[in-house]
Amino acid sequence: FQIFDCTAMLLRRAAATGSSKLLGRTALQSIVRSRYFSDDVFSAPREGMDYDVLLVGAGPASLSAAIRIKQLGLEKGTDLSVCVVEKGAEVGSHIVSGNVFEPRALNELIPDWKEKGAPLDTPVSDDRFLIISKDGSWKLPNFLLPPQQVQYIRVLGKLTRWLGAQAEELGVEIYPGFSASEVLYREDGGVRGIATRDVGINKDGTPKETFARGMELRARVTLFGEGCRGSCSEEVMGKFNLRQHVQPQTLVQHTLGWPLQSSLLDKTFGGSFLYHMDDDLVQIGLVGGYHAIPKLTFPGGALIGCSAGFLNSIKIKGSHTAMKSGMLAAEAAYAALTSTGLEAVAVAFILNGLEPWTLGNDKPDSAKTKPAKDFMPIDYPKPDGVLTFDLLSNLQRSGTNHADQPSHLRIKAGKEGVPSTESFPVFAGPEQRFCPAKVYEYTDGSEAGTAILIHGMQQTVVDTSRCVGANGVPQLVINAQNCVHCKCCSIKMPQEYINWTVPEGGGGPA
């Protein structure tokens, strides 16, 4: 019989531990029976593994936490089993950001990182903050800016892969290519781990010959480090009301001026930043803020890194704070699991975000979009094919791939009418412009062909020549296969009508 994806973890763990009991003929036969003989393969029992600590997402925060837990085990003599699950095909494959890195947390975590070959090779020699116009720029004096430590320019994905290697050397089990699609709960309501997504499903929702149930990964403590808008993190925040009394997350630009402002009187506020990387690469990014950080802990685990939104917004840096959050969570988890047996994590803020100088923000970003009638259309310059390229060319370079599978982008129940009654007629369909991968399109029937309309779990193949609603408004088409996992749609859509769920593991940008 065939051994397929859902047994890969069991095989790797058996090899790592030298245990022949973890994956014997009986276990394999039970998997095969659930695959071939169950009346309903989608409700068949799942195989599972148990750990002391489970980390969801293999980013800097999770890997720093995993490393710190193993370091504490070596220091104090009580080793804990640690597992990291990652939806990307390999560690670092979905971390496409470049940034200016402050190594304070890394100095604490791995003091000899230079000797161990950490990919930090480009120190910052000059740091400038510019106010830009279409015809020139003005440099702000450095004394007006926060003091900076020693910094390095680097591709975050490379550092993440290096951290993954350090974690594995310490005995951390890392499983890339597995999407955490479901949060598991204990009988008392606390988190007990996650389940990975079922694989081998056709676009119409029927199982393929390669169908396999996901795995249950259970743990005494689960730390969510999925990054911004992680689907499991969002579920946990909602279930435990972790955003109560917290300001909504919103997006700001790093610098000031053109092209968002033609003059200082313009209502639009923002700008851009440039990180000059090696290999003729320039990186651009957006950030959140301190006062949007939710309550971090809940029964059975905590949020770390960008799942919580850690960022020093004054310095425009977040990688070292993400790493430090993981290290602190690791120390709290280790202490709780080894001294008292309590399955909880405790992290505290000094002032709990209630400083007297706090600037209020009472609306989510999705509620701040203004009607299209209040603005003039923007005439964007055409790509020149030298420094700038068309969207589809850039999409091809991203290596994005989602094999034949159901859409992971779904319209939330009860909000099926938002695209045709609000997003398009009021805001001119902003999703078709801000999406960097042309995932969202409104078709008016002028192009022949077929498209897939998605509402919740329902997908319908339609003739695009008839894609006009009863009110004359073009219908929304979702090209989920193009998605590069930026998750902007889950933030900026009117009423946040899109539910961003995880695709099969290994999909997305390469």
Kindly report the three-state secondary structure assignment for every residue of 249-269. CCCECCCEECCCCCCCCCCCC
pLDDT in tens, 275-306: 555 556 666 554 454 456 778 888 999 999 88
Strands 216-224 and 301-303: parallel
115 band by pLDDT with thresholds 50, 70 and 90: very high
- Domains in the chain: boundaries: 48-119+154-247+292-338, 122-148+253-288, 365-445+469-500
Q: What local confidence, expressed as pLDDT, does residue 38 receive? A: 45
Task: Find the helix or strand (DSSP H, E) in which 453 lies.
Answer: strand 450-455
Q: What local confidence, expressed as pLDDT, does residue 137 receive? A: 75
CA–CA dist 414, 289 (Å, integer): 31
Highest averaged pLDDT of the listed ranges 12-26, 215-229, 239-253, 493-507: 215-229
Nearby residues of 122 by Cβ (< 8 Å), 6 or more positions away: 152, 153, 154, 277, 278
The tokens for 374 are 């209040």
Q: For 219-224, what is the mean pLDDT? A: 95
CA–CA dist 365, 457 (Å, integer): 26
β-bridge mates for residue 256, sequence order: 131
CA–CA dist 493, 257 (Å, integer): 25
Q: For 257-262, what is the mean pLDDT? A: 55
- Is the pLDDT at 313 greater than 70? The verdict is no
31 band by pLDDT with thresholds 50, 70 and 90: very low
267 band by pLDDT with thresholds 50, 70 and 90: low
β-bridge mates for residue 217, sequence order: 49, 194
Question: For the chain, what is the radius of gyration of the CA atoms?
Answer: 24
pLDDT in tens, 428-443: 999 988 888 889 988 8
- Is the pLDDT at 32 greater than 50? The verdict is no
454-460's contacts with Cβ under 8 Å and 24+ in sequence apart are 454/407, 454/409, 454/410, 454/411, 454/478, 454/480, 455/410, 455/411, 455/416, 456/410, 456/411, 456/412, 456/413, 456/416, 457/205, 457/406, 457/410, 459/203, 459/204, 459/205, 459/406, 459/407
Q: What local confidence, expressed as pLDDT, does residue 503 receive? A: 86
- Is the pLDDT at 213 greater than 80? The verdict is yes
- Is the pLDDT at 23 greater than 70? The verdict is no
CA–CA dist 69, 330 (Å, integer): 5
21 band by pLDDT with thresholds 50, 70 and 90: very low
CA–CA dist 247, 358 (Å, integer): 10
Q: For 478-489, what is the mean pLDDT? A: 88
The amino acid present at 170, given as its one-letter code, is L
Whole-Å CA distances, 458 to 170, 196, 282: 45, 22, 40
The tokens for 196 are 């990975």
- Is the pLDDT at 349 greater than 70? The verdict is no
The dihedral built from the CA positions of residue 458, 459, 460 and 463, taken in this order, carries a sign that is positive
The better pLDDT of the pair 471, 475 is held by 475
What average pLDDT is seen over the chain? Answer: 76
Q: What local confidence, expressed as pLDDT, does residue 65 receive? A: 96
Q: For 418-427, what is the mean pLDDT? A: 92
- Is the pLDDT at 361 greater than 60? The verdict is yes
CA–CA dist 225, 182 (Å, integer): 15
DSSP per-residue codes, 6-32: GGHHHHHHHHHHT-SSTT-HHHHHHHH
Assign residue 91 a region: left if phi > 0, alpha if psi is -120 to 50, beta otherwise? beta
121: phi then psi, degrees, rounded to nearest 5: -115, -10
The tokens for 267 are 């209502």
- Is the pLDDT at 334 greater than 90? The verdict is yes
CA–CA dist 221, 432 (Å, integer): 40
CA–CA dist 424, 410 (Å, integer): 17
Q: What local confidence, expressed as pLDDT, does residue 492 receive? A: 87
- Is the pLDDT at 271 greater than 70? The verdict is no
- Is the pLDDT at 343 greater than 50? The verdict is no
145 band by pLDDT with thresholds 50, 70 and 90: low
Q: How many CB atoms lie within 10 A of CB 250?
A: 17
Q: What local confidence, expressed as pLDDT, does residue 269 receive? A: 47
CA–CA dist 482, 471 (Å, integer): 29
The amino acid present at 216, given as its one-letter code, is E
The better pLDDT of the pair 195, 305 is held by 195
Which range, of 41-45, 55-59, 70-74, averages the lowest pLDDT?
41-45
Q: For 106-127, what is the mean pLDDT? A: 87
152 band by pLDDT with thresholds 50, 70 and 90: confident
Q: What local confidence, expressed as pLDDT, does residue 372 receive? A: 92
Highest averaged pLDDT of the listed ranges 48-57, 349-358, 405-414, 450-459: 48-57
Closest by Cα among 185, 221, 214 to 83? 221
Task: Find the helix or strand (DSSP H, E) in which 130 lies.
Answer: strand 130-132
CA–CA dist 206, 404 (Å, integer): 11
316 band by pLDDT with thresholds 50, 70 and 90: low
Q: What local confidence, expressed as pLDDT, does residue 251 receive? A: 34
